[in-house]
Amino acid sequence: MLLKMKGVNTNENHVLSLMGSNGLLSAVRRKKYSEEVYLKRRQMRSDVPPDLIQRHFFAIEPARRMVGDITYLPVLEGMMYLNTIEDLFNGEILAFRIGEHPDTELCIETVLDLARTLGGGRSLAGAIIHTDAGSTYRACEYRWLLRKLEVRPSMGETCEVYDNAAMESLNGIIKTECLYNRFGKTKVENHMISKENLVPIVELYIQRYNNERPKEALGNLSPVKFREQNPKGKFLVVKKELTGGLLWSRTEV
């Protein structure tokens, strides 16, 4: 085109031949995927899943309505990232991963851990995993995995923390009880704790949170004990008031 604009009468094949004989051909990157795949990826990026939770952070059955999020863990070496999936039925942390990058791979590995955890009888088919609308959760690879597992993705609005308040609360509990109370908030936020010391503490705390930490909303049971006592999906209701407190009763769905 440029040659024709300058009045040189030639064709593209002749120019290509001359460039090849003189070692002037450009290097062109091959496309990794077909045009159809690229089209589907663009559609998935633009098609954000609806908010299926609508700030109703409860569930009457285990592993049916879950929330997920990534939070940062400041360490001496820089930053680590904790990705967590919480069950809205009992507040149990069903799966988590700690990585050096807050990327799609971290989210995918966490969901795969979740699938393995529920592999003993509890299925993910039809379940909801609610997150924010960050790029990691909108990535095609992540959403393809959810589709393969028959999971229904749900996303709140961008920059609207209340749309995922349950996870924000859990992240706050982990940082306060696990990190700040042990190491001191100033030391943690100023990256004064090494990865070697911090990461095992977080992993140990999550195990304690699930199995030992009592929750008033669960009748002072831990999340795991509550689920074990209510495997078919029961929840706590207030039957009547008593002097000095409330009488809790478990009702089957």
Nearest to 60 by CA among 239, 227, 241: 227
Residue 237 located in a structural domain: no
Residue 129 located in a structural domain: yes
Residue 51 located in a structural domain: no
The whole model's pTM is what? 0.76
Residue 55 located in a structural domain: no
Render pLDDT for 13-60 as a digit per residue (tens, 0 to 9).
Answer: 777 777 777 766 666 566 565 666 556 555 655 678 999 999 999 999
Beta strand segments in 32-77, E: 65-75
How many structural domains comprise the chain? 1
Residue 140 located in a structural domain: yes
Render pLDDT for 198-239 as a digit per residue (tens, 0 to 9).
Answer: 999 999 999 999 999 999 999 999 999 999 999 888 655 544
Q: What pairing do the DSSP bridges indicate for beta strands 93-99 and 78-87?
A: antiparallel
- Count of CB atoms situated within 10 Å of the CB of 70: 23
Residue 8 located in a structural domain: no
- For residue 112, give its domain range: 65-213
Residue 53 located in a structural domain: no
φ, ψ for residue 73, nearest 5 deg: -125, 100
> What CATH number is associated with residue 142?
3.30.420.10
Please, which pLDDT band fits residue 253 given cuts at 50, 70 and 90?
very low
Residue 17 located in a structural domain: no
Render pLDDT for 67-87 as a digit per residue (tens, 0 to 9).
Answer: 999 999 999 999 999 999 999
- Count of CB atoms situated within 10 Å of the CB of 3: 13
Distance, in Å, from the CA atom of 54 to the CA atom of 165, rounded to the nearest integer, reads 11
Kind plus residue range of the DSSP H or E element containing 142: helix 140-148
